[in-house]
Each structure stands twice: as structure tokens, then as C-alpha cells.
Structure 1
Amino acid sequence: MRLLSTLLWLALLAGAGAVMAAPPTLPGRLVFKLRAGGAAPTAELDAVRAALQSLQATGLTQKFPLSLPPNPEQPGGVDLRRVFEITVPPTLSLAKARAVLLASGVVEYVEPLYIRQPLYVPNDPLADSTTGAQYYLRLINAYRAWDFTKGDTSMVIGMTDTGIRYSHEDLRHQVKYNYADPINGKDDDGDGYIDNFRGWDFANNNNDPLYEGVVAHGSLTSGVVAGQADNGKGIAGVGFRCKFLPLQIFSDVGVAAFGGYEAVVYAADHGCKVINMSWGGAGGYSSFEQDVCTYAAVNRDAVLVAAAGNTPNDLLFYPASYDHVLSVSATDGADAKASFATYSHRVDLVAPGINIFSTYGWNVQLAADSVDTDYWRSSGTSFSAPQVSGAAALVRVRFPQLTSEQVMAQLRQTADASIYKLPANAAYQGYLGTGRLNVGRAVAALNQREARVVRSVMLPPSAAGYAPGDTFQLVATVRNLLLPIVGLKVTLTSLSPYVAVRQGLFEAGSLATLAETDNKALPYWLTVAATGVPVNTTATLRYHFTGDNGYQSDQYVDVTLNPDYVQLNAGDLSLTLTSRGSLAYDDLAGTLGQGVSYRNSIPLLSEGGLLLATSPTRVSDRLRSTNGGARQSFYTLAQVRRLAPGPRADQEAYGVFRDSLPTAQQPRSVGVRIRQHGQSWAAPAARRNVILLSYSLQNLTADTLKPLYAGLFTDWDLPGAPARNVARWDSVNRVGYCFDPVAPVVYTGIQVLGTGPAGVYSIDNQAPKSSPIYFGDGFSPAEKYLALSGGFGRAHREAGTLAAGTDVSQVVSTLLTRLAPGDSATIAFAVLAAPTLAELQTAAQAATATYQQVLAARPAAGPAAFWKLYPNPTNDRLQIELPTTLGAVMAQVFDNMGQQVLAAPLRAGGGELRLAGLAPGLYVVRIAGTSLGQRVERE
């Protein structure tokens, strides 16, 4: 009698999570940053010129040529002289531009320019403006602050906003005029700006940041921070005597122009020690924007203050959520969180934001040299932030020895935490920062303590995040910003049910002012839950600081869990496999995924994925389309999961997705369910250059699919010169491959495995409009069908000449002559990479041999060949049919970590399992019993 153990992969249905839309971008405009180097990056620019030409990029400009280089004695700065802007065709995908520029080897990042919005919530125009107008000055204790300091005219606050009416009676004497560059048509001070006497308009690129009657936002925020005090008119700004520099970043004529980050650099370079940013957008993290904030705060020692947003949700809002920025949310007159205010663990403090009375300047009929005398009430975090900016200016005047980092700490630690005792704020514990601004306490004395984690490093590093069951470490570097602290302890706790802290204590000891220490000797240890973790979950961890004299404070750090893709990287080749059939990235912007690389190279693939078709109109894919976006044919049934090690490889990944059934109204789908399987090996050497991908296709329609074409599309952009690649076909090994014919660094390819037909369609991405496939207007379903079906002859095996090369793509395909309703068939490909063509061919031979071994391990005979498991996927009941000759057996269900989650006996012939209590995902079903049959293992 022998033990019978049969495996089946079971998928539980999973729902799709909501994804926040990315903020709008300036069409056709990108920024990129050269890697670290000298001040004059001539050689690096020469290295990217070929890439820029292939992208049809124009208007290459250095964004900040006069910016200050990093100070080696002050770590953490950035070099903005290495940031450049280009103009590209609007149809060019960000992923393609990123891959091409990164392939030069000298580019650090490539990003769009986001359009951020002013945060303005207009109020009732009949609101009372005659009594108690500036209630917020009493609430934030400004009158007491002015007993200690009234600021100084040498302290300048940069107001990055809409235009202002600098003719207003409470603003005109508060503007920081640049007397070194009077209006005479010359750049008298040599700063690159002609006649920037009153500031600068970055939206329209001129020297006149004058409000022209569309949005008075800039005048309103400027009045809050710097309205002239003691002039017997109107209001008093929190900054009292401090000046402000008007910097217009939005166009008054409604054009999609935005110059917020350029204005931040200008303000920092022109002596502004506080910069107000009452604008922003949810989501859309940008390394470029973070670089600008780091430059202003670290290189130039400016305090950056930003509005936290007017969306009443827990979310990240930029620039407020960037490092080195004070994030300010809003409260009402009773210290309760304002109904519209964004809240999050990234908020630093709050200030009143409802009915904020300030300068208006609406009467644009007046001549520019006339005097405006009107005022208005407005609401929004836009009007909370300038109160904090004014307070920061007073702190800097009162305590000039403090760095910007210390000023931020002083404002946080002197805020009124008592607001958390209000019933209205009970639901927002920890989400409103350290409390409501108290500028009186902030300028009274330097008697506060604050330690901060300035760096959090997770080990092993994971750009995507951590999968269920993972264990990782966290190394924190702590800096003491204010008074010395004795006996400092930093305790880490998890606010997420999906992460457990196994070791959470860091005894930092005693720290002098500005001293640092870390816990490398005894890092924090954390473990992700093995099951039940939703896709793309953000888990929040809390650092809790305690020390002498009752000091305590909190800080937070986020970690991403259960990303909706896996990385196969056991060998030298690393590839992102998504839950919906895409390779490298799960979006055209190239932000969801880690790409494809070889031996830690730059990304090699800008776009790739599975492509299916039965006709020019019945095509399924998630590749680029004709509208500048991507088709969304596939949707997830079971999230892709990685097993390391897997049953047959060092790493294996499994997932299930499908397209929709074709109907008369939507006839464009093929109508299949796809079970994908990926494998990666650490040894032997040849298999380190291979990732094997197989797809089991099941016909869900009532019609026979004949024929059914299937292939992988790849847009390779190889190191050196991405526009100097060629595409070729190896008919012996059935490999479509690409390389640089002049200076090859790596060869990449796709191989067709199995016994089915093999074809390749090589595409010149820069081919003229008359070509059969023209990428200038996208990639249409008819073109995709042509690429799949037209590659079985000799006509399209090559693209690019060996002398010059070009920008190339390939579709490597196979076909199933017929697939009947309900039937399934498997197709397989190998993704290959190697330093030479000979090694690539060796890898292809290893892939062929490996795949044949996999097929041999799946015998068609034996008792288990007759068992059935259905429906699969399921969300509850699972029927199992077995040969009655097996007798009674045990059904076992294992999760993707190999842990048994369910076991139940089955009678002869099978039975039913109830799976409703299991989380969505992939599971293994094992049937174990005694029989005269053989041991069978089947997928």
C-alpha cells in the first residue's frame, strides 16, 4: 500500500481594492535628475542625448542652475543643479521615458510635473466681518507672543500662492521689495530674473505677481501671515513686522500652469527663512518634489509649512506629507477638528481654519497703484498654514540660533495637546499632530524636549513592501533636537492588525542637543500576518519617545504590505510578475512594480505583458492603447503569490486572472480564464538567467476559439543607448532577442516553450506612419492581432540595423489551433537575459530542458488523473470528486506559506469542503490516503 498525495491549486475569489487617482500632470513635460557628480554635468548630459533624441525630447533646460550645492558638513542635502526638464510628445508613456533615460546609466529618476491646487474653501459672502473678526489671534495666543517679539523686517516669509494685490492697505508696506533689481529691463543683481522687484510670477514667467481677479487666495493667505500691524487699519498678521515675498504659482487666466516647486527654490535662494505652501494634492509622491523640499530645508535652512488638505479623510497630501515639511491641518473656533480638514499621522499640528478674516483685494478695477481696502472671511487649511508660518518667523527672530529643524520641533512641542480631551476630537487621537498652535508658548522660552527618528531603514529592503508571513527588521536613527534628554527610550508598536512587533524597545540613553544614535546593535523585529492581509495595505507603526522630566512624544512610519505583484529574483534575472498578466510594471507610468533587471542593472523593460487574440477585434491585454492609456482587459481572480522555495523551483509564483465574456455590446474580449505560474532558480548557472512563465488558458465561452493566439509583448530598453537596439529571431532555440549592436552589455529575450508553433514580430518603435504597426498613435487591437498572428513567417523577424539600431519591441507568440468550450490548454515562455548571445542560447537550452522535466513530472495515468475539483475559483463550497477505489481520504488545504489551514475527511468518491472562513488567495489542496496507485503530483 502506498501513500497517495495529490496537489491541486485552489483560488479563492478576491475583491479589488480602491486606488486613489493620481494628481493631474503637465502634459508633455518631464523632469529627470542626473546621478551624483560634479557641478557641471557635461559628460552625463552627453550620455543621455541619444536617449533624449529617441524620445523626441526638446527644450532641455537645467531647472535650478544657480541653486546652492550640498554642504558636506551638513548631511542630507541635495544637488538641484542636476535636475533637468524636457518636453516630450504627449503620447509618450512615462514608463517608456523612464526606461529609456534610466538605461543611460546616469539618471537617478524620471517623473512628470504634477499640478497641485490651491486649498480654498469659499465662505458665505454675508458672514459677519465687523465683530470678533480675528478670533484666531486670541486662540493661538498671538497677543502674548507679541509681548516677547514682534518679529523683524529682516525676516522674510515666502508666500507661494496665487497673485496678490500688493496695493492693499495692509499688504503694500509688508512686501519684501528687491531694491537691488529695480524695474529697468535689466538683471541688475545677476540672479537670472529681470526686474524681480516685487517677487516673481512662476505661472506666467514674468516679474508681476499681481492678482488679476480670478482667485484672491494669495492676498488672503498673505494677510494672515503678514498683514501690517499697528497701522490703524484692517488686520494684524501673525508675523507682525515680518515681511513677505509674493511668488505667484498659479495662472489667473485658468491655464494649466503651475510653478510651486520652482517658487520654493526661488524663495529659499532669495533669503526666505520661512516658506508657506497653502496648496497641494492627494497622492502622487514625487522624488523631484521631495528633492526641492529637502534643498530648501537642509541646504538653505528654511522652515517649510504646508496645508494638510481639505479632504476629510486619513490620507497623504503633498507637499505637506513630505519630509522636512510642517503639515498643518485645521480646527474651528472651539478647537474641534474642522469638518473639511484632512487628518493623518503625518500632520504635525493644527491651527484655526474656519472664518479666517484677512485682506482681500477683490476690487481689480482699481489701478495697480491705487489702494485696496477690502477684507474677507475664508475657510480651509490654506488659512491655518500661514498662522504657523507667521509663528515660525517669530520663533526664528526670537531664537536666531535655532535651525529650521529645531524651529519645527519648538512649534510642535509648544502646541496645545489639550484639544485631544475634547469629545469632538476623540476619534482623531494622534491624527492632529501635537495639538493646536500656541505661538505665545513657542516664543516664550526654550524649555522643550523633542527627539525624532530622522531615518528608518527596513531590512531586508523591499521597494514593493512585505508579503504575508514575512519577517523584517527596522533600524531607526534618532536625533535630539531641543534640550538634552536623559534616559531616552523609543518603543515601537504597530497600529495595524497585520503586523506584530516581536522586539520593540530601543534604549537610546542620554542625548545632547543635536546628537544622534541608532539601534543597529538591536534592531526592531516585526512579522507580517500569514493570512488575511488585504492587497496593497499600508500599515502604520508608532515610535513612542519617553525620557526624563516626563518627556513623551510620538512619531509614525508606514510600511506597505501584501503588494499586488511579486518579484521573481532567485537568480541573476529579476522580474516583476503582476496579478493581471503584466510584466515589469502594473501601470504605464512604471510606478507599480520593480521592473526587470539583470545582475542589479537599471530597468531593462519599459512595458511587457500577456497578449491574447482570436481576431482583430477580439483582443485581450493590459498594454498601451490608442488613447494614451492602457487597456484593462484582465482582472484578478486570485492575487499572485510567491513561494520561496516552491515545489519545483527556488521561487514560484501563482495567480489567476481572466477577461470578460464577449457580448453583442462588448465583443472585444476573448473570454478566457488564465492561471499563471512563474519559476526562478538560483542554480545551476544557466538557469540563473531564466524565468519560466506558463499560462493555463480555459475557454469560458460557448464557442470554440479557433485559432487562439497568445504571446508576450516586450518593449526592451537596454543599457547604453535604448534607441540603438536591434531585435532578432533565433529559430533554432525559438527565441526573440534584443541587444545593442555597438556596445552590447546584456542580451534579453523571450522563448516559446513546448511543442506548439512559435513566431516573432519585431517592431521598430520609430517606424513611420505608413508602417503596418505605428506606435505614434498608440497600439490598436488590430495592430496587436497583427503582431500575434503575423510572426510565423520570415517577414518580421528583425528590427533595427546592426550599424545604427533603433528603439525596438517584440511580440513572441504561439497559437492553439482550437480550444473547445470549457477546455484548457497550457502555453509557456521563458524570459532570458545574459551578457552574451552564446550565454543567452545556453540559457534557452536550459529553459527547454527544465520545461520538459516539468512536463515529465505530470503523468497522465494513475488514480489521481480522474479526480475533479470545482468550482475553481470559489468563495465558499468546493466539490471534490474522487475514484471510489481510493476509499476514505483526508483533504488538506495549505496556504501560500505551506501552513495547513483546513483538514477534513472525505468518504469514498469525494465530498464537499466549506472554505468561506478563508481569506482570498491561492491555496493548495492535498488529497492523502492509501491505495495501490502511485504517488501523483498535479497542478
Structure 2
Amino acid sequence: MKNTLRILLFFSLIGLAGPLRVSAAPPTVPGRLVLKLRPGQSQAALEAAFSTLGAFGFQQKFPHALAPSPERPGSVELRGIFQFHVPPALTLAKARAVLLATGAVEYVEPLYIREPLYQPTDPMADSTNTNIATGQFYLKQIQAYRAWDVTRGDSSIVIAITDGGVRLTHEDLRQQIKHNYADPINGIDDDGDGYVDNFTGWDLADNDNDSGYDITIIHGTLVAGIAAARTDNGLGIAGLGNRCRFLPLNIYPNTPTGVFAGIEAVVYAADHGCQIINMSWGAPGGYSRLEQDAMNYAAVNRDAVLVAAAGNTSADILFYPASYDHVISVSGVQNTDQKSPNATFNHRVDLVAPGVSILTTQGYHAATSTGPADGDYIAVGGTSFAAPLVAAAAALVRRQFPQFTAAQVAAQLRQTTDNIDGLPVNAAWAGRMGTGRLNVLKALTQTTRQEARVLTSTFAPARATYAPGDTTRLTVDVQNLLLPVAGLTVTLTSLSPYLTVQQGSFAVGSLATLGRATNAATPFRVAVAASTIPLNTTATLRYRLTATGGFQYDQYVDLVLNPDYVVLNANDLAVTLTSRGNLAYDNLTGTIGAGVTYRASGNILSEGGLLLAASPTRVSDRIRASGSQSRQSFFSLNQATRQQPGPRAAQEARVAFQDTVPVAGSRVRSVGVAVRQRAYAWDTPGRRDFVVLEYSLKNITADTLKPLYAGLFTDWDLPTPDGAGKNAAAWDSTRTLGYCYPLGISSAAISPPVYAGVRLLRGGTPAVYSIDSSAPAGSPIRLADGFSLAEKFLALSSGTARAQRTAGLPNGADVVQVVGTRLAKLAPGDSTTVAFALLAAPTLAQLQASADAAAQVYATLLPTRLTTLAAGFNVYPNPSTGLLRVEVPPAFGLAEVRVLDALGRVAMHQAASGSSVNLNVAKLAPGLYTVQAQGVGGLLARTVVVR
């Protein structure tokens, strides 16, 4: 565990919305994903879904992993993790939606590529020193020489070097390698571990037994020398691990078919008896449940000490794998104990170690007149080289205290450091460099230390982000790792002005070594400020653990407040609205946002959002483009906000965004429209299955948009009993309703929902386009090779020509639908309004009933904002089933009354005079209409519903 905790809160779709306070995610292995099956599920449950996605190469990732044990709380199951290949055009969001809809999958993720953290300093640093030992200043700094008087380690203790290949023939390394004598080089898997001839480690990246030197990546040799270079051989340097051995595990490919394999190496090391695992690699951001599972497995199932470099970012950010639970995060200092210039600092750092001008084995140069091959050394810098010092120290602690668990070894290292926060040069980073600088002598000799820690934090309700005014309860699990403690208290304090701790004390009392306690009976209570919170604010809570005798230890937990999206969840349909026009998620990976859910379902919309177009080359959207990229036409004008309750609905949302004004001769392909979006959700009976989305569109160009097309793109992923995600799309012209439904449903009512769709409530001429995502080459729209501007325009501008062409029949497919409208013209500076209802229901009949209810609500509770409202102008009864009375002011000079349908067509008209007229609307089809009164006083309009 860390000396800070992270809220690992998961959306219903995947488990996690994404880590807090991170930068952009690292690159991923193209065309390959990984998933974890739920307990009791098998590959057979995914066959139909894999067919839908075009996925192949399903392979168990860790077939030899140790099963979880009830004797090790927190141990995990890795045997249910599988990797597979996907088509290049398949988005992660789509794969997640289809696979999670089967109900058999716990999570779906990409495989991240983490880079080695190599930052060489002056190549000649210390190279002129003929006495190499005195060049290793850092050994004295961390009290290594005196520590070796206590223990020099043992060859039975093995440090895994998960890194680039190691120069196995180097003079200071070749005798320190841990060989697997149970599997000699003979072409046979003698020990039956699934790896043939893994006598000298393994190359996880290329899946062969050559873990040796690669001229392009010498990082592994550098790291290995610091931790385990041979001592007392009269050559080169002395590794801090002294007599401890190392196991070389290559994680970087040196063949065309190889892939990064850091996580695989961690599991391999744990399964092959490595008590310490060093990870001098990583990247900012890109939190992964797979990677956390692997860390849990190595640390808990296999009781290995995990050590990782905190990164060379010189920033307060999360860096993985160092920031995962159960990993000792190591940052760096100079020989003066001042923070290294490029070292990462954060609340998850456990301790620091020297990381500048660290002399180590190089293994790069051939034999020269000044030295033999395999006998070169170099001074390097970075947290990559601070981490193996801590890994080696952990190996010595394991030798000195063989009864310690991995968690206790980490605690001993933390609690025996030399505190450096008090140095004036470190004032800017105080509290974010862990407990201090590594002191190996203290770690081996001090046996009176205490450390109690918060192991887990559980928030209820569990959310990825918290909105202004939210409250939450916080339950913690505390464990004592070292000597028994008495009078233990955990005090929760807010370090943010936007969080208030309403109940923040947990009196634990006495805890024996490895004893545990929880405050489940009286959890902490935390409230979020009601207003003035900056957008996407990361707020920090501090746990301060104190005990009798002066023990004090701080840990931290972060929350993200006031996100740049809102969720309308007043009824059974919960919809995420982003500040830039998207629905469900703000990105294609499906990690920013809460998706769209209905009742107890998982996410049912993998991608959605507003589309605008004026021509095949002028389109504005934030929908997929090609590959894993999306267009970025819209930018936010104001933060998305939610009002609860609102003046017209139980929940209301406001969003404002626009695209770029196109300039003649430029490459800008936008339309030039400012959008103000309003959304409404109700919690009353009959209104629980829809959310109304209204868009006010303003032409911000100097030219008339003639015509302007607007619509909603929806990539529904509705679950089916067989998990195949086979859907079809259709069009209800009576209601201007485009909808999607799954095939293979026989029950009249089933939950989760089986129908979802979009109804055009207001606009011009309707349009609908249903798309089969697996359409072959030559199709008018083919999403397999991207979604071009011309294809988006076609989807918006084809009217209802394809209305009777359902997509997905007869066998079902992954279908996409665009429901939109054609507005004849929009002059410069003018505005117009279009409105849609987003719907979900268990049956088609219920979906249609909800569509009718949405139209009625829009007409009666949300009066048209752009019509002229005048005193004395009344239209009633509304709704009406027969006679409709229209009254105007006496001076208006009434001449004619017209009734327009939802598409703007004249359904009936009648000459009139005086101040009132009766209309018989009994013969009109049920629906939404606009009554217009024309007179010398102008035009009056009012929306009505005919039943």
C-alpha cells in the first residue's frame, strides 16, 4: 500500500472512470486488448461478442498464476485475465460496451507501454577516479558500508530486474545472476512452468529465453549493477545487494513481433520466487486495473516487495506503476539530500534515495586499449537508479528479518529513513518526498519502529467525481504492520477549501502486529462545497495516524470535484452531458463521463453527440473520425452545470459550446455555430424513461447557412441474452423516432432495457440514417475505415430516404443511428432551436409511449422560447382531444389561424376575425403542434399537444 490512497471508483461500465490528477495516458499496444472474466464465467460466454467485434486470438495471459487464498486478504485472481486481438478500426469504447454487456466481463483495457526512465548525466562523471569504490558516494550517504557489517545479504534472496536486457557477460554481473538449474538448456521444459529453457531469466517481450544484452537499450544493465554488482571481486563497483542475486527479465522488444511486457515480467518474477521486484520504468497517467491486479498478485498472493521509480517529471503527478497500491514509490535526491532536479514528487512517494551521478555497470563498449570488453562503467542519473538502491535495501531487510511480510519490509524501510523535509532546500516539496532518504543501517538495526496504515478507503456513494453539494461517507481499513500500538487514532482532515469533514475521528485503540480495524460502524462523513469550486478540482483529504509514544504517520486520499460534465439521473435513464456536445463520454476510450444507463443496466451508449453540417466539407462534431481519433470541432464556452430541482424539471442542465468560424481559404472545416444546450429530466410517473435535449443554434458566420443540418449520433450497444450485442435499428415515421433494439429477445418485458432511441421534437425536415458498422467496402457509409466528413454529411442530409431500410437485419449487428433535421436557412446572427428526446424502455410499445410523453412534456412544460408571448393570447385546453379555443388581444386584428405539425408543415388553417376562434383538431393525428395566430399585430404562436 501507499502512504497515500487513491479512490479507485468505478463506473458501472468498466469499474473505473480514470485516475485522479493525471496527465495524458501513455501509448498502448496497437490492436490488442485485455479483459478479466468474472468468477464462474468462461470463454464460451464471449463467443458471440467476439464475433460481433471481429476479435480473435483469445489467450489466457497468466495460466500458471497462483489462486487467491482466504489466508491472504486482498489476494487476487489472475487466471481469469485474457488478451486478444481486435481490428484496427475498433474503438476501446465499443469493445468495452459490447464485452461488458455480456455480463461475463469485469473490465476491458488496453495494454499500456511504459518507458525506461533513463536520464544520463555527464558520461565522464567519476570515470577518472581510479578507485572506483570511492566514486560510489551514495553508498556512504545511505550508510551501506556500516549496513554490510550487519548483513551482506544471501544468494537465496533474488531481486528481479524487470527492464531492458542485461549484459550477462559483464565482469561485475555474470556471477550475480540467479540461474534456474531445474530447467537447463536442452529444448525441454524440465520444470513444467510453461517456459522452455528459462535457465537465465526470460525475455517476456519477445517470448524467448534470451534475457541478455540489447545494444539499443542498456538500461537493464545500469539498473542491475546498482542493485547487485559483484562485491569483493577486485573489479568495478559494489552493488548494494552485496551477496543477493538478480534475475534478468527483458521487457522491451528487440524483434518485430515483440511487445512491451513490464506487467508480464512482474507476474513472472513473483511466480519464480523473486522476493524483490524492481521496476525502473513507467509513465504519467494511464491507470490500469490489469496493472493494479498484477501488483496485488505479486505483493499479496506471492508476498514480493515491489519497488518502482517515481518518475523524472519534476511534477506533482501520479506515475505508474510507482503510484499503484503495494508498490514502494522511490523518488531521488542529490548527494546533499536536496531533491533531484527532475524527480517526481507527490503524496504517493514512500521514500527517496540518491539519484544523481550514480556509478554503475554499463556493458556497452567493446574491448579497447584502455579496458576490456564487459568491463565498462558510467555515472547516470534519474529515479530509475534510485529505485534499485531501495530494492537492494529491501533484499537486505528480508535477509535480516526473514519473518517479515512484504508489507512489513516496506514499512521498515519507510520508518527508518533520515527525514529531509526540514532542509531549507526541500521546503517546496515537504510532505511529498515520503518519509525521507533511505538509511540502510537503520533499516537493518532499528527494531522499535511502529507503522499503522490505512489499507483501503471505501466511499459511499462511490463516484468517480463529486458534484457541488454532494456528501459521502468514508470507511477505512487500518492495519498495524510493525510493533504493537496503543491509543491509535485516525483523524481525517481536509486540505482543500472545497471539502468539509463533518465527522473525522476514528479511535482505533490498541492493535497487535498485523492486527486490523475498521470504522464501518461510524464512517467518516465528508461534504463538498455547494459552489465556487473550480472545474475538475482535485481535492485532498489527509489521514493522520497517531498513537501513544509519539507515533505519527500521514496518508492521503484524493477526490475530483466539479467535473466538466454533468449526469442527469433523476429518473430511470441516467445521461452524461459533456461541456463540448457529447453524450455518455467525453472521449473515445470511455473514461471521462458516466455513460448512459437505464435502471440496473450497464452503459448502453458507447458514443453519442451532436452533429452539425452545412456541406460535405463543413461539418462540426466531436464524433469518431478514423482509427482511435475523434474530431475536436467544439470547444466549451461555459462549464456544464446541473440544477436540482430546476424550474421546469426535477433536474436541468445547461451547456454552452461552439465551433470555429471558418475563414475563406483556410483549412478549417467547421460550420460556424454557437450552441446553447438545455437538458431536462423528470422523476414523476410516465416521465421516467426519457431526457429532453434542446439545442439553440446561432449562426456566428457572416454568411447565411442554407441549409443547416443538425442531428444526434448514437452508437447504441444494447445487451442481448447471448451476450453477442446483435442489434438492429428502425424508424417510426409517425413519431419521427429512430430507435435501436436487440435481436433474440422473446420476453415481453426484460431488464436491462431492450429498446433505446431518439425522437425529433422540434426542428425542420426530419432525417434518419441507420448504419451497420460491419458494412462492406463500397457502402455509402463504412465505419470500419473511419467516419469521414462526407459520410457524416450524408447521414444528416439524406432525409428519410433510408427510413424504411433497417440496419442489422436479419441476423443483428453493431448498429449506429443518426436522427436529425434539415433547417432551410439560418441568417448571420440568427438563432433557431432543435430538440430531441433521448429514450429507453423495456419494449417498443413502452418506448413509443415514452416518446409521446416526451412530446407532450416538451409542449406543455417547456414553452417555445423563441415565440412571441403576449398578454391576452391563450390557447386551450392544452392538451386537447377536440375543440381548441384560440384567444388574442382585441387590438391584434386577427386574420388567420394555422396549425403546424412538428415538422413545420401546415396541418390545418382557418380564416378568423375578432378576438377568438374555435378549431376542431379531433381529426389530427396525436402529437406535437404549433398554433399560429396571424393578424395586423404580427404573429403569435403557442405549442399544443393533440391527443
- TM-score scaled to structure 2, two decimals? 0.86
Distance 1:363 1:629 in 2: 43
Distance 2:785 2:426 in 1: 53
User: Structure 2 matches for 1:241-320, cutoff 5 A?
Assistant: 241-252=243-254, 257-320=259-322
- Equivalent AA in structure 2 for residue 821 of structure 1: P
Deviation at 1:316, TM superposition (A): 0.4
1:71 aligned onto 2:69: yes
Distance 2:188 2:61 in 1: 21
Pair 548,117 (structure 1): closer, same or farther in 2 beyond 3 Å: same
Distance 1:853 1:755 in 2: 17
- Equivalent AA in structure 2 for residue 119 of structure 1: L
Structure 1, residues 276-323: CA drift from partner, whole Å, max 9, x if none?
000000111111111111111111111100000011111100000001
Partner of 2:6: none
Deviation at 1:769, TM superposition (A): 1.1
CA contact (8 A) 2:89 2:626 kept: no
Q: CA RMSD in A?
A: 2.1
Partner of 2:86: 88
User: Structure 2 matches for 1:893-932, cutoff 5 A?
Assistant: none
Deviation at 1:457, TM superposition (A): 1.5
Distance 2:498 2:862 in 1: 38
- Equivalent AA in structure 2 for residue 447 of structure 1: T
- Equivalent AA in structure 2 for residue 680 of structure 1: A
- Equivalent AA in structure 2 for residue 823 of structure 1: D
Which secondary structure does the structure 1 equivalent of 2:278 belong to?
Answer: strand
Partner of 1:837: 844
User: Structure 2 matches for 1:548-567, cutoff 5 A?
Assistant: 548-567=548-567
CA contact (8 A) 2:679 2:693 kept: yes
- Equivalent AA in structure 2 for residue 714 of structure 1: T
Which secondary structure does the structure 2 equivalent of 1:543 belong to?
Answer: strand
Deviation at 1:863, TM superposition (A): 8.2
1:36 aligned onto 2:39: yes
Distance 1:65 1:675 in 2: 53
Report % sequence identity.
59
Partner of 2:799: 791
Deviation at 1:101, TM superposition (A): 1.2
Distance 1:247 1:48 in 2: 33
Partner of 1:701: 701
Which secondary structure does the structure 2 equivalent of 1:49 belong to?
Answer: helix
1:816 aligned onto 2:823: yes
Deviation at 1:795, TM superposition (A): 5.1
Partner of 1:776: 784
Deviation at 1:446, TM superposition (A): 2.6
CA contact (8 A) 1:722 1:807 kept: no
Partner of 1:601: 601
How many aligned positions are there? 838
User: Structure 2 matches for 1:602-617, cutoff 5 A?
Assistant: 602-617=602-617
Distance 1:105 1:831 in 2: 24
CA contact (8 A) 1:213 1:252 kept: no
Deviation at 1:255, TM superposition (A): 8.2
- Equivalent AA in structure 2 for residue 406 of structure 1: Q
Deviation at 1:755, TM superposition (A): 6.2
Distance 2:462 2:644 in 1: 17
Deviation at 1:651, TM superposition (A): 1.4
Structure 1, residues 786-835: CA drift from partner, whole Å, max 9, x if none?
10111323456410114x11111000112222222222111111111111
Distance 1:221 1:112 in 2: 28
Distance 2:546 2:207 in 1: 50
Deviation at 1:218, TM superposition (A): 0.8
Pair 832,723 (structure 1): closer, same or farther in 2 beyond 3 Å: same
Deviation at 1:334, TM superposition (A): 0.6
Deviation at 1:254, TM superposition (A): 9.1
- Equivalent AA in structure 1 for residue 545 of structure 2: F
Deviation at 1:691, TM superposition (A): 1.2
Deviation at 1:506, TM superposition (A): 2.0
Task: Say which structure, 1 or 2, has more relative contact order (CA 8 Å, 6+ apart).
Answer: 1
Pair 667,557 (structure 1): closer, same or farther in 2 beyond 3 Å: closer
Partner of 1:452: 453
Partner of 1:434: 435
Partner of 2:423: 422
Partner of 2:766: 758
Pair 755,230 (structure 1): closer, same or farther in 2 beyond 3 Å: closer
Distance 1:146 1:94 in 2: 51
Deviation at 1:215, TM superposition (A): 2.4
Tell me which of 809, 822, 834 is aligned to 1:827: 834
1:22 aligned onto 2:25: yes
Structure 1, residues 896-935: CA drift from partner, whole Å, max 9, x if none?
xxxxxxxxxxxxxxxxxxxxxxxxxxxxxxxxxxxxxxxx
- Equivalent AA in structure 2 for residue 820 of structure 1: A
CA contact (8 A) 1:692 1:829 kept: yes
1:45 aligned onto 2:43: yes
Unaligned runs of 5+ in 1: 1-16, 866-935
Distance 1:863 1:324 in 2: 70
CA contact (8 A) 1:278 1:385 kept: yes
1:384 aligned onto 2:386: yes
Distance 2:647 2:805 in 1: 36
- Equivalent AA in structure 2 for residue 265 of structure 1: V
- Equivalent AA in structure 1 for residue 528 of structure 2: V
CA contact (8 A) 1:579 1:636 kept: yes
Bigger Cα displacement from structure 2, 55-64 vs 315-324: 55-64
Structure 1, residues 226-277: CA drift from partner, whole Å, max 9, x if none?
1112222222211111111000111347987311000000000000111000
Bigger Cα displacement from structure 2, 850-859 vs 224-233: 850-859
Unaligned runs of 5+ in 2: 1-19, 874-941, 943-947
CA contact (8 A) 1:611 1:713 kept: yes
Structure 1, residues 311-353: CA drift from partner, whole Å, max 9, x if none?
1111100000001100000000011100011111110000000
Partner of 1:544: 544
Distance 1:706 1:34 in 2: 52
1:468 aligned onto 2:461: no
Pair 580,87 (structure 1): closer, same or farther in 2 beyond 3 Å: same
Partner of 2:585: 585
- Equivalent AA in structure 2 for residue 670 of structure 1: V
Tell me which of 97, 100, 124 is aligned to 2:98: 100
Deviation at 1:74, TM superposition (A): 1.6
Tell me which of 45, 58, 61 is aligned to 1:60: 58
Partner of 1:154: 156
Bigger Cα displacement from structure 2, 407-416 vs 726-735: 726-735
- Equivalent AA in structure 1 for residue 167 of structure 2: R
- TM-score scaled to structure 1, two decimals? 0.87
Deviation at 1:459, TM superposition (A): 2.3
Distance 2:613 2:773 in 1: 21
Partner of 1:925: none
CA contact (8 A) 1:23 1:284 kept: yes
Distance 2:555 2:205 in 1: 36
1:122 aligned onto 2:120: yes
Distance 2:526 2:646 in 1: 24
Distance 1:164 1:794 in 2: 62
- Equivalent AA in structure 1 for residue 762 of structure 2: G
Structure 1, residues 358-397: CA drift from partner, whole Å, max 9, x if none?
112113579xxx9722221111101100111011111111
- Equivalent AA in structure 2 for residue 240 of structure 1: N
CA contact (8 A) 1:214 1:253 kept: no
Distance 1:90 1:805 in 2: 22
Deviation at 1:128, TM superposition (A): 1.9
Pair 21,864 (structure 1): closer, same or farther in 2 beyond 3 Å: farther
CA contact (8 A) 2:763 2:823 kept: no
Distance 2:446 2:354 in 1: 23
Pair 755,579 (structure 1): closer, same or farther in 2 beyond 3 Å: closer
- Equivalent AA in structure 2 for residue 24 of structure 1: P
Partner of 2:226: 224
- Equivalent AA in structure 2 for residue 752 of structure 1: L
- Equivalent AA in structure 2 for residue 136 of structure 1: Y
Partner of 2:406: 404
Bigger Cα displacement from structure 2, 599-608 vs 227-236: 227-236
CA contact (8 A) 1:654 1:677 kept: yes
Partner of 1:895: none
Partner of 2:683: 682
CA contact (8 A) 1:26 1:256 kept: no
1:854 aligned onto 2:852: no
Partner of 1:14: none
CA contact (8 A) 2:47 2:724 kept: no
Which secondary structure does the structure 1 equivalent of 2:226 belong to?
Answer: helix
Pair 794,136 (structure 1): closer, same or farther in 2 beyond 3 Å: closer
Which secondary structure does the structure 1 equivalent of 2:711 belong to?
Answer: strand
User: Structure 2 matches for 1:142-181, cutoff 5 A?
Assistant: 142-181=144-183
- Equivalent AA in structure 2 for residue 834 of structure 1: A
Partner of 1:354: 356
